[in-house]
Amino acid sequence: MWYTEVLRALHERLQPTTYLEIGVSDGHSLSLARCRAIGIDPSFSLTYPVDGDIALVRTSSDDYFARHDLGTLTRGLPVDLAFVDGLHLVEFALRDFINVERHCGPRSVVVLDDMLPRAADEAARHRHSRDWTGDVFRLTEVLRRYRPDLVVLPLDTEPTGMVLVAGLDPRSTVLADSYDAILAEYRRPDPQLVPAEVLERLDAVPAARMLASGLPEALADRTRDDVAWREGVLDAVRACAGTAFVGSES
């Protein structure tokens, strides 16, 4: 399943009030939004219509979060759904996740793109292939290790995979506090050694199975209190992926 099909389905089923996208490019994924949407990209060049309640910011995500308050564009509301498709280097992806989570709510969803390289060449920090994921695939292991409270679910999508993250905690400072230590361990020179489970997508759930599992409906459920909501989400994750993708504190 193509990644934009999954994003379209998430928009339709989650019905977010606010949507944030880092890495707008040609506007294809941003055009799927039917709510207040914010796109951040220093060099976007739109070829898709993005009509609606949309704010486009032509700057890097680092610069934006350092200089501006996202709340002014979300009108004081948390980000319900975010799609992170920025610069494909682990340090940038980690900073993007840290900054995005601060503006989310506990029931928000973050989707990370280009998380499943198909070859070591695609995963290189210095691009030399047509399709390029860089080393952002390492963020999956980082989140599982440092944030076992999160649900971290790799999805087998075309062309280069996604990771869905739920159970967010906008108050958490674990990743920010550990940022230097994380990069010292996980930022490595080329050639990148990509685990076989990543290259062969053994560590990923088919997107169609996730969509059929009831997980989007569990994520969108507003009838339950926080404890019951989280348990419903975890049950849906277990139904489509088993226990491997549920954090040890879940």
pLDDT less than 70: residues of the chain: 243-250
Report the pLDDT value the prediction gives residue 241, as an integer from 0 to 100: 87
Report the pLDDT value the prediction gives residue 12, as an integer from 0 to 100: 97
φ/ψ of 139, rounded to 5, equals -65, -30
Q: Say how far apart CA 75 and CA 17 lie, in whole Å.
A: 11
Q: What is the pLDDT of residues 9-38, one digit of tens each?
A: 999 999 999 999 999 999 999 999 999 999
Question: 56 to each of 52, 63, 102, 157, 162, how far by Cα in Å?
Answer: 11, 14, 20, 26, 23
Neighbouring-strand partners of residue 110: 82, 165
Task: Give the pair of three-digit tokens for residue 49.
Answer: 């219509």
Q: Which numeric CATH code is attached to 3-241?
A: 3.40.50.150
Rama region for 25: left / alpha / beta (φ>0; ψ in -120 to 50; rest): left
Q: Say how far apart CA 42 and CA 64 lie, in whole Å.
A: 10
Spatial contact of 156 and 116, defined as CB atoms under 8 Å apart? yes
Residues 6 or more apart whose Cβ sits within 8 Å of residue 57:
38, 39, 40, 41, 64, 68, 73
Neighbouring-strand partners of residue 18: 36
pTM tops 0.85: yes
- Closest by alpha carbon to 201, among 165, 160, 145? 160
Domain residue ranges of the chain, discontinuous segments joined by + = 3-241
Report the pLDDT value the prediction gives residue 248, as an integer from 0 to 100: 44
Q: Say how far apart CA 121 and CA 134 lie, in whole Å.
A: 9
Q: Say how far apart CA 143 and CA 208 lie, in whole Å.
A: 24
Neighbouring-strand partners of residue 112: 84, 163
Spatial contact of 245 and 147, defined as CB atoms under 8 Å apart? no
* Coil/strand/helix, residue 248: coil
Q: Would the CA dihedral through 60, 66, 70, 72 be positive or negative?
A: negative
